[in-house]
Structure 1
Amino acid sequence: MQKILLIEDHAEIRENMAEIMEMANYTVLTADNGKSGIALALEQIPDLIICDITMPELDGYGVLHLVQKNTTLRNVPFIFLTARSERAEIRKGMDLGADDYITKPFDGSELLNAVERRLKKNTQFADLPASEICLDRFKEKRNLNHYKKKQMIYTEGNHPARLYYISKGKVKTFRKNEDGKELIVGLYSEGDFLGYTPILENVNYRECAEALEDAELAVIPRAEFEEVLRYNPSIMKKFIEMLAENINERENKLLATAYNSLRKKVADTLVTINEKYNKEKKEGYFIDFSRDNLASIAGVAKESLIRTLSDFKNENLISLVGSQIYILNYRKLVTMHN
C-alpha cells in the first residue's frame, strides 16, 4: 500500500482527511506540526506528502525547503493545503517547487483525485532510467509539425509553450538589430532539441527560429517537459549541460566576431557548418547555404563574404558550383591564421 504523510495542525481536519484516504486503501501517517512531520518523513519515506502552509514552529514552506534539500525525499511529490484566504500564497508555493495544492474547504472526491493524480505521475516517471535513454520518451509517438523552408517556428518575445525535437531538417535561430540586420546565433539539425533555454530560464524567447529547409519537428508541451525534469534529475542535468555548452559556444562566437579577421571568420563559418551537418565526414558533402545566411553566421557583410569565398576558390581551399560550396582543403581552413 502507498504511504501518504499528512502534516496538518488542525486536529479535526487531520483526522477527517486521514479517514478518507484510509478508506481508499492508502496508509496514512500523520503529524501535527512541521518539525514532527519532517522527522516522520525521514523515518518512513512516504510516497506523497500533503502539508498545510500555516502551522506553528515550522510552516509548510519550511517543510518543503527541508524536503527538497534531502536527497532521499526531494523526489517525493508534495501537495500544499491552503485556505481560500491564502490564495495569494499559492503561487509562492508552486514557485518553490510544490507539485500541487488543495484549497480548503474541499470534499472527499477532490482530495482523492489530487492524491491519485500526483501518485500516478510520480509512478510514471520514477521508473525512467537515469541515462540518455530517458530522452527517448520525447521522440516516440509524437505528433510532427511540418515546416516549409523559411517558415518561422517561434519568434522573439513570445512565451515558450513547448519544447521542440528536430526529427528531420535544419533550423537556425537568429536575432535582429534595430536596423533589421540578422545575426544567426544557433544551428540545429536532426536529433537536436530546440527551445529549451527560455523554458529553463523562465523567460520569453530571446531569438527567432526558422527552418533552413523543409523540416519535421516533434512538439512536447512545456508542462510535460517540466514534469519530467522535476522527477528526473538526470534529464535536468543533461539539459543544463546542453545549456552550458550553448553559452560557451556563444561566448566564443562573440570573441571571434569582435577580434577575428574577415578571412578567419569566413573559414570558421565553413568549418562550423561542415562539423555540424557532416559529422560522418562523408566524401562529396557540400555546403548549400544562401550567401545571406553564411554572412549572418560569420557576422560579416554579404559583399565581403562573397569576395572572401572567391579568394578561397582561387587558393584551391574550396570549389564553388552555383550556390554549393565544396571544401577542398579542410586542414587549411581549420588552421587559418587570424
Structure 2
Amino acid sequence: MKTILVIEDTPTMRTNIAEILQLAPYQVVQAANGKEGIEQARQTHPDLILCDIRMPDLDGYGVLHILRKDPDLATVPFIFLTAMAEAADFRVGMNLGADDYLTKPFDDVTLLGAVELRLKKAPVIPTNPDAGSDHLTSLRQAILEDNNARQSLCDHYPTTQYNRKHRLYTAGSWPTALYFMSQGKGKVVKADVAGNQYITGLIGPGDFVGYQALLTQGPYTDTAELLEDALVCTIPAADLRELLDTLPVVANQFNQMLASEVANLQNQLLKDAYQSVRKRVAEALLLVQRTFYPQPDANLSEDRIPGNRAHDQSLPMSLSRENWSDLVGASTETVIRILGDLRAEGLIEINGSQITLLDRDRLTNLKR
C-alpha cells in the first residue's frame, strides 16, 4: 500500500483529505505544520507528499526546499495545496521542484486523479541494494563526456516532456536540481532592471543546464526557457553534490565547463563593445547554425567554416525575431533591417520565419 504524507495546518482540511485518501485506499500520515512534516517524511519515507503553502514558522516552499536537498527524499513526488491562483506562486513552487498543484477548493475526484497520476510518474527505486548507485554511475559517465551514457541518462532519472516557453528555472530562485536536455532547444537569458533581455547561451540535446548556481550554491542569476517542446530529465542536486564531493575528476569537469562559459561571456562583451551590429548578426546566425543545426561534416573547428560552396548551404533555421534581437543585443527593427541586407547580398535566404545560410564563409569573414 502506498503511503501519502499530508502536511496541512487547517485541521478540517487535513482530516478531509486523509479520509478521502484512506478510502482509495492509501496509508496516510498527517502533519500539522512544516517542521512536523519534515520529521514525518524522514521517519516514514512516503511515496508522495501533499503540502499546504501558507503555514506558520515553516511554509510549504521551505518544506520543499529542505526535502529536495535530502538524498533520501529528493525524488519523492510533491504536490502543493494552495488557495492562491496567481501565476507567480505557481512559478516559485515549480522552480523549487514541485510536481503539481491543487488549488483549493478541490473535490475528491480531482484529488485522487492528481495523486494517481503522480504516483504513476514517480521514479522507480531499485530493490537491489547494489543497484542503488546505478544512477550515480550513469551521471558520472555522462558528465565525463561519455556519449552513450548521456543518451541513457534519462533512463535513471525522472524525465518530463515540457512545452515551448516553459521555464526550467528563473533568475532569483534557488537551485534544487541539475537539468539535462534530452531533446529540444532552449535559451539562457539575462535581464536588466528595465526588463531588457539578452540571450547569453543556447542549449540543446546533450547539454546540462543550471549547474552554475549549484556550483556557487547561490540563487540563479539567469533564466532558462525552452524554444520548442523538449524532453528534460531532472537530476537531484544531492546526486551532483555527492559526485562533486567524492570524485575530483567530476568537479574538475564542471569547473572547466564553468571557466569556458565565463571566457565565452567575456569574449561576447568585447564583441558587443567593438563589433558592428552587422557583424554580430552574422555571428549570431553562425552560432545558431552550429548549435542547433550542425552539418554532417560539422566536426571541424568553429574557427574554420568550410568555404566550399558545394557544401556551404545550411539547413533552414527557425527563430523568432525577438529571439534574434535578444541574441544580437540590438533592437528588433535593426536586426530585421540587417537580415534584409544580408539577403540582398546573397548571404542568406529568408522564407517566413526560416533563415538559410547560403555562404557561411563570407558570413564568417564579414568585416563591417
User: Which of the residues 167, 171, 181 maps onto 2:196?
Assistant: 181
Q: Which residue of 2 aligns with 1:158?
A: 173
Give the alignment of 1:139-218 within 5 angstroms.
139-218=154-233
The answer as to whether partners of 1:143 and 1:219 remain within 8 angstroms in 2 is yes
The answer as to whether partners of 2:198 and 2:326 remain within 8 angstroms in 1 is yes
Give the Å deviation of 1:241. 1.0
What is the aligned residue count? 221
What is the letter of the counterpart of residue 294 of structure 1?
A: W
Give the alignment of 1:1-150 within 5 angstroms.
131-133=144-146, 136=150, 138-150=153-165
What is the letter of the counterpart of residue 316 of structure 1?
A: G
Give the Å deviation of 1:253. 0.9
What TM-score do you get using the length of structure 2 for normalisation? Answer: 0.56
What TM-score do you get using the length of structure 1 for normalisation? Answer: 0.60
The answer as to whether partners of 1:172 and 1:210 remain within 8 angstroms in 2 is yes
- CA displacement 1:156-197 (0-9 Å, x = unmatched): 000000000000000111011122111111100000000001
Q: Which residue of 1 aligns with 2:20?
A: none
User: Which of the residues 320, 324, 328 maps onto 2:354?
Assistant: 324
The answer as to whether partners of 1:125 and 1:232 remain within 8 angstroms in 2 is no
Q: How far apart are the structure 1 equivalents of 2:262 and 2:160?
A: 28
Q: Aligned to 1:132, what secondary structure does the other structure show?
A: coil
User: Which of the residues 313, 328, 333 maps onto 2:343?
Assistant: 313
Q: Which residue of 2 aligns with 1:301?
A: 331
Q: Which residue of 2 aligns with 1:107?
A: none
Q: How far apart are the structure 1 equivalents of 2:156 and 2:239?
A: 14
**Larger Cα-atom Rg:** 1
Q: 1:125 to 1:335 in 2, by over 3 A?
A: same
Q: 1:123 to 1:154 in 2, by over 3 A?
A: closer
Q: How far apart are the structure 2 equivalents of 1:309 and 1:125?
A: 46
The answer as to whether partners of 1:168 and 1:217 remain within 8 angstroms in 2 is yes
Q: 1:123 to 1:185 in 2, by over 3 A?
A: closer
What is the letter of the counterpart of residue 172 of structure 1?
A: K
User: Which of the residues 254, 260, 279 maps onto 1:264?
Assistant: 279
Of 296-305 and 123-132, more deviation after overlay is shown by 123-132
Give the Å deviation of 1:239. 1.2
Runs of 5+ in structure 1 lacking a partner?
1-118
Q: How far apart are the structure 2 equivalents of 1:184 and 1:198?
A: 17
The answer as to whether partners of 1:147 and 1:214 remain within 8 angstroms in 2 is yes
RMSD (Å), alpha carbons: 2.7
Of 154-163 and 256-265, more deviation after overlay is shown by 256-265
Q: 1:210 to 1:192 in 2, by over 3 A?
A: same
Give the Å deviation of 1:138. 4.3
Give the Å deviation of 1:143. 1.5
Identity %, equivalent residues = 31
Q: Which residue of 1 aligns with 2:126?
A: none
